[in-house]
Chains A and B, each alone.
Chain A
Amino acid sequence: MPLIGRVWAGARSLLIGLGITGRHSVRRPVTLLYPHQRPDVTHWGGPIELKTFAATGTHDCIACNACVRVCPSDCIDIEGRRPEGTKKMRATKFLLDFSTCSLCGLCIDVCPTDTLQFSTRYDEAAYHRPDSVNDLLGPYGEDPYLSGKLT
């Protein structure tokens, strides 16, 4: 009887389907509840940040303005000052207007001291343009070269 055979095969396939969904329903959900749980990102080119070197414990930005000149979006603003008795400039202001940054990475390529890198931050939305200006020197506090602790 082909009909009975087909009904049996169909019923069996339905039970197999129920088994699959049943097995999955008791497993852990794969959805990440995003604002509450944040994924750890390792490979991601977020807004640029200054690299901290282990030897000095601080960044190595010499305010050479190479990144400012190469930036196609004109979104970097740097000011620097020469510490007493040294030749090397130190940055006193490093602002990145992320609302115009296109993440091209030219500033990272051109940096002579290799102190720029992409960060792994990923949710940079803001309600107002001034809110998306990043102060890259913000995390560093008082500069040890400018205050004379390092020479």
Chain B
Amino acid sequence: MLGGLRDLLAGAIGHFAATVLLGAVVIMTYLAFNVLFLIWLERKVSGRIQRRHGPTEVGPHGSLQTVADMVKLLGKQILTPVATDRFVYVLAPLLIFLPTICLASLIPLSGAEAFADQPYGLVVIIALSAVSVLAIFMAGWSSNNKYAVLGGMRSVAQVIAYEIPVLLAALAVVLVAQTLSLRGIVAAQARGVPFILLQPVAAALYFIGITAETNRSPFDIPEAESELVGGFHTEYSGMRFAMFFFAEYTNMLVLGALGATLFLGGWLGPWLPGPVWLLLKAYAVIVVMMWMRWTFPRLRFDQLMTFAWKILIPVALVNLVVTALVVGGAG
């Protein structure tokens, strides 16, 4: 269906422009819907874990609660504190979700469809996913608020530390699949088994890593409410504040979908179409992340760093070396 629409548009504005336009519209629309859904889901999951109902009043089972909240945020005054670095302050919320939208276009939805199929897709994704930390630091720095700066600095330290095990875990998958293309990685799983069975350690490392990279509990120290008054987004209000939320939940979906692609067989699955399977797997990963958030207490900062540098990275390195030896021996 999308292909037909693209061909129709291509007649008017050219093939490349039609692809970009259509991709942008579809991805933005879906991501906006996804954020509304995920915030509702988060509140429902937290409610159930705490033996509450979660939102129930607006819409059936409270499903329109986030829409109502979004309307409220749209109507709020957008404050800019006096002492801010104004240009950076305004730029940060815009910058934070650009990389995640680019990432979303790189995930292969099915064997035939991806908005931007790159032969080195995995490298692009890992490079882009580190850009959002720049926006977080910009937000923290430009707010001219000590809590915001602390949150931003914590975020930089954390993302740099946890990027490495994610990268090493993904590299182990690359060694097994013998390709950097995400579509190729799923194709390799189609020939054998999902890589979570071949690379359980890498899957665990990846999962822990993306939990930290999306700043979610137990690794949510950049925005630790009880310590930092919200961290890097302390000074933001209205839609600018909503942008950070948008980015966080979009990031969860994209990294969940990437995890599904790398370890759970991506779009592969019986009966249902490919994109549905991919989203189901991504949402399964996200539900586990929510489950963890409402179970575990937050780590202390030194524990966080110790965990990354002394445990995750050595384990990831050993896993990579063992994988390389096994793959090399088999080859």
Contact = CB atoms under 8 A, between A and B. Distances in A.
A22 B48 CA distance: 9
Dominant secondary structure at the A interface: helix
B240 to A, nearest CB: 33
Interface stretch (A28-36, A98-106, A110-118, A137-145): A28-36
Nearest to A35: B57
Interface in A16-38: 17-18, 20-22, 24-31, 33
B157 to A, nearest CB: 21
A54 interface: no
A5 to B, nearest CB: 13
Contact of B45 (A17, A25, A31): A25
Contacts of B48: 24-26, 29
Contacts of B53: 29, 31, 33
Interface string B20-57: 00000000000000000000000001011111110010
Contacts of B45: 25
A7 interface: yes
B311 interface: yes
Contacts of B47: 29
A17 B52 contact: no
Contacts of A21: 49, 291, 294-295
B56 A24 contact: no
Nearest to B47: A29
A91 to B, nearest CB: 43
Nearest to B297: A17
Nearest to A4: B311
A24 B296 contact: no
Nearest to A16: B295
Given A17-B296, A21-B294, A29 B52 contact: yes
Interface in B284-315: 291-292, 294-296, 310-311
A28 B45 CA distance: 13
B46 to A, nearest CB: 9
B2 to A, nearest CB: 37
A30 B52 CA distance: 6
B52 A22 contact: no
Given A17-B296, A18-B292, A30 B51 contact: yes
A14 interface: yes
B295 A17 contact: yes
Nearest to B315: A7
Given A25-B48, A27-B51, A33-B53, A14 B296 contact: yes
Contacts of B51: 24, 27-31
19 contacts: A14-B295, A14-B296, A17-B296, A18-B291, A18-B295, A20-B295, A21-B49, A22-B291, A24-B48, A24-B49, A24-B50, A24-B51, A25-B45, A25-B48, A25-B49, A28-B51, A30-B52, A33-B53, A33-B56
Given A17-B296, A31-B51, A31-B53, 4 more contacts: A25-B45, A25-B48, A30-B51, A33-B56
Interface of A: 3, 7, 14, 17-18, 20-22, 24-31, 33
Interface of B: 45, 47-53, 56, 291-292, 294-296, 310-311
